[in-house]
Amino acid sequence: MAFPFDVQICLLSVQLNGPGNPEINLESLIVTGGNTSLPAYRMPSVRCRPTAKEHVRRVELAILLERRGEAFLKSAIGPCLILGLLGHISFLAFPVDEFNERASTSLSLLIVVASLFSQAVSSLPASASSKAIDEWFFYFILRFFLFFLAQCLVEYQRRRLIKKQKSQVVPEIHAKMRAKNDFGRVVEHPRRSEGDEMLSSERHPSRAFWKQRDTFQDKFLLIQPSSVNMTCFVLGIFVDIAFVLIFCYNIHLQNSNIREQFENYEVCCS
């Protein structure tokens, strides 16, 4: 259902009753609505269709009703777009190391959208199927939840990078201290005789390979937090644009089907 931008067809059945079985002359049939206006709908045209080919006594009138959705543009669609823009700006306005500010912004936007949805639901007509406005709010609620997950991912990558850097700095300091203490000292490694046991790396050469592979994997996983942040920002914009286009296309498709049904009726108004 394309509510609140839907198009509906209102059908009215008009029948002549009286002595002599009066019939309706379709050639001279004219339907005039006068100055007809509704607060929630527009009525661009009226069409009709006879219920029989001969001896017509009843005519079915079809009135095309276009819902006025301008109020929802200001109370639901527009605020969600503005809040979504603020969510995208939070990726650029706050540094990657300020996780509290970034996360609190995403959660605050999520709470605001949820409150807007609860207010809108109280004034929406009851329906068993989901409406377009429901899908709109659900997407933005899900979107801000993904904003928060993206902020957590950036913080997770930042902490992993800091932990990796600390683990690399400490061995380097110890190595420099050992090199300073062993300066001028010649160290000769003892030779292993035939009876000595083999080293662990010699007994299991695959372990050395897997250790080297783990280092490559760590380098691959430790992506810069700024790169993760920018990736989430760009990907979020593309997802939002795709959703808006699909949302508008579905509304246009549903309304086009209803207009095609309305075109099956004959023009009978002036």
55 inside domain: yes
The CB-side HSE value for 68 (13 A sphere, CA atoms) comes to 9
Q: Which of 15, 61, 8, 60 is nearest to 38 (CA)?
A: 8
As a whole number of angstroms, the distance between CA 159 and CA 225 comes to 9
**214 falls within a domain:** no
Q: How many CA within 13 A on the CB side of residue 208? A: 7
Give dist(CA 72, CA 78) in Å, integer: 8
Residue 40 has pLDDT above 70, yes or no: yes
Print the domain residue range for 47. 7-68+257-267
Structural domain count of the chain:
1
pLDDT score for 39: 86
In a domain, 111, yes or no: no
Residue 23 belongs to some domain of the structure? yes
pLDDT tens digits, one per residue of 140-183: 999 999 999 999 999 988 888 888 777 766 555 555 666 655 55
Supply the pTM of this predicted model. Answer: 0.75
User: Residue 190: its pLDDT value, please?
Assistant: 52
- On whether residue 22 sits in a domain, the answer given is yes
The answer to whether position 18 is within a domain reads yes
> In whole angstroms, what is the distance from residue 73 CA to residue 71 CA?
5
Q: Contact 133/118 with Cβ under 8 angstroms?
A: no
pLDDT confidence of 88, banded at 50, 70, 90? very high
